[in-house]
Structure 1
């Protein structure tokens, strides 16, 4: 292999060759296992069921130039990541009667490069940009079959369903985003007589390279954890990469990470950094802030060992960590322990009662909503009275933020704050996590044992998130610990005295669980000293103040000289949306929009992710919403006062009144229906594009056909 492509593959693939050393084709024909035969047979059955003809003449009517331009624009990011990798891949197969093909998630070819003579032959079967190669249009082929099977796929010679394609041999691999969604397919197609055994390996590694570039681009502002069981493989294509949010949650992974850990994407996202690797965000930040830091050995609960290296943009990471948790990046978050030393360096001294509230305290959670203000007032009355607190509320409403604020304002502020998510720890391990264990207490236990979370929180605050997911058998043990104030680690006969303040949280109805014998009634009354409910985002009146606060915080680490502002249309979408993910979802939506907006000062619907935009538009179009959408955008005085406050801890929030706020510079317009507003927006976009429908469709994020249909149906009469 040559150049950078060779260096990228060293240590990652068992296929090597010298700079110009030829690779011999397989002389004895293709021999593959039963799984491959089953895949081809199943594909042929699908094609027959779809009515695809084996002798149908190839479709020589690709997309028109303008339509292809729209498809390419829609997949511009995929093309930009894939194009340089395709060039390096082509260097390895040049002069072998082959071509490299990139398709989008529908199977439409958006880019190809290859030997001129073979490109001419391929065009005779419509293997060219603008043509769709899904199974439904081209029968069994590597591109279309890989899209359905979602795994790398080889289709050789007469394995192609259509006779016209029998002269081809194709090796294709799907390209996945960090959440496991298919972005497109990378394919190498050549003459079946020049099949090379190493081609599939090259294609799979090239797809992995594109995926890694995509992950790095998606998560450039979060911590990325590079790991492998062999330290020398860190930095190669064989390494696993995990994206770790400021709260320790695992939010993305490359294919190498899933393969090494033996987990699906969904199973991985149920873990946190602590439950998976037994370390914390704070520990990694402390270790890897130095550019000279070496990989750190870690051990999974099953005993498997890995070496990890964390990479992050320190100024951006610190700012985003503070935006999410109200604490600096030196402070570990979910499932971690905060040491007094770290607290002392990252937060000012806790003031005496009546003094100014420290950063991250209860005062910072006031964003103009009466319900939240009532919750804070209740908590202040029992603060430092040794009364356990139970925080109720839906997922994402900010229960942990409230617990941290309580700790910061308490007399225990200089002592550890330990957060444990009972739902994210496997049932078989939660007892060991909470109470600790001695050496050899169970299979897979670490040597010298481990200190449990309750002991780690001694003197400080223990936050048990999702307490309703704690196994019933463990509830009795926890009750005994709380009553006796002593912990006995697994495998030990000695008890350890502990003094902790307990805060619990759950989104479940514990009283119903008690009736169903899923939660102990005695533990419920032991934990339920003061129960407070955080309202969901849709029930609150300070959504707009929170939007302003989040955007201000996102603007600072990005180095923006001016604040981001959503336009009136986006604000109306926000207000009428039901926010099932509450504040956590709002933050993620705004963070994505801020990145998409780049240097633009105003967030428009173009900057919103497609799935959120579809849901928001559907919610806005619901009965009873149209009249509210036409109302002028006015910021409530109380929310406006909060919005003017300096950025601080993010608080749980909810939607405002059925009127949408108006940002400075905008004026109220005459009431219009949603349909009229939509038509006006389309006409305005077409005018601004000089009548170019393709450009207007790109800016609006809708198809050209939709524009034609809307304007045709709404012509003046």
Structure 2
């Protein structure tokens, strides 16, 4: 007979667990083998699961203080190996001989502790309630326990939450409580990873429960592809959501969803006719998506942030290599033209690393006056030089201790400063100006430059020994004109800069010109062009008349270089444009029609007409 309030499958779970315990060689008189980790290994365990522990603490504490503080119970958080990480509540009900099972590092897998809430929830990867006599070991029958597994944003089992007590709280109550708290933790893990960088859609059956932890949660990118979903979303929609899209799941278009006001509820109908209320939240930052968090300190192969690219093979390979080597403390040198996205690439690398919780200390070596570079990098004692701050400064390198140091445009660093930087990288110590004291530093180094450091070395402008210190792996980012993901980048930047009412998109002529443009300013130029076009179009379809003048100047240079630029239905646009007066007469004297025909702005037509007079 199943325990009241628990599903019929409960009896089967207990029978299967007891069978496993017998296979493990346990009997009812066996004592739990919780294990006692040395203090150093406990510290390593807690550090390895720091994010999970911190997230759980933030979510569990309010529930315990507001709901469970008067109950004689204990909440335990364990990792996916059944090892205890944290606890909340009282141990008054714990048998004195069993106290070691409720401290950090204690192991509750079935092989060690028999049938129990933590171990059995892990074995079955589902929530479970274990009554007193359902524990396989008699030593554990002083308590009841409910536990629910915790999955991360990638649906990996990362831990389990347990509520144990000697009281006779209703099983449905304790089981429902751990399910609710574990779902809250899962939602927080998802949001912490994605909410600043992606669109977030919460949906539920009623307006009053949109903010509930039981609401469905979808994370999707600017093209509508689902990147992550909580398990509640699976349950509400009755399907697995990975690889799905907004258009497939709901009877609405992506544009209609994106047109909703930020945070305002709206009606939503699923493709299976279920009716919901939804709430859209836009990214807090203009970066689209960050890589998945690494597991156990290892980078995730192929997890390319869309802030960096949308599938370009060269960038995918560069990011994967950079992730792997950065974790092994190999210095990286990022090469690429100005505006090619080197800084965005580095920021995404840092956010995907195990040092993401620490700051990224970025230094533009070309922007700091040469007289101040040493002081800014290495710090100084008070009174070290005229104009020094009266309190001194620790310097940017020491600020990057235990974090990531990014030296942008390192090729512009003065030779004298290069010598000091080399010494820091060799000795891993910093000596501030005016001081004799050495300060140890633990940094991961990424450098970037738009010029060839090898050429700089040959010309005597960059130290050869420093070059080999900073270039453990050289990675070259392709310029925008060579990238294969330009259309997706255009859509991403358009979505980033547009207002909610601006949904018209681009004229086909504009997209054709974008594909053929040389983009000497790379991503920075593309972003500027799209911002100008959005402002001029003011909600209309973006056409060639909305593009800035210098956009067409670059096209003319491209034409004179022997590249023919065509729009979708117009003749080749050459640098001379032929006889514009004849073309204008053919267009009935309509300047706008001629500009569209040629794929240029009206201002360009006026200029060319004046030049031909």
TM-score range, shorter chain: 0.3 to 0.5
TM-score (norm 2): 0.47
Which has the greater radius of gyration?
A: 2
TM-score (norm 1): 0.41
Q: 1 or 2 for the larger relative contact order (CA 8 Å, sep ≥6)?
A: 1
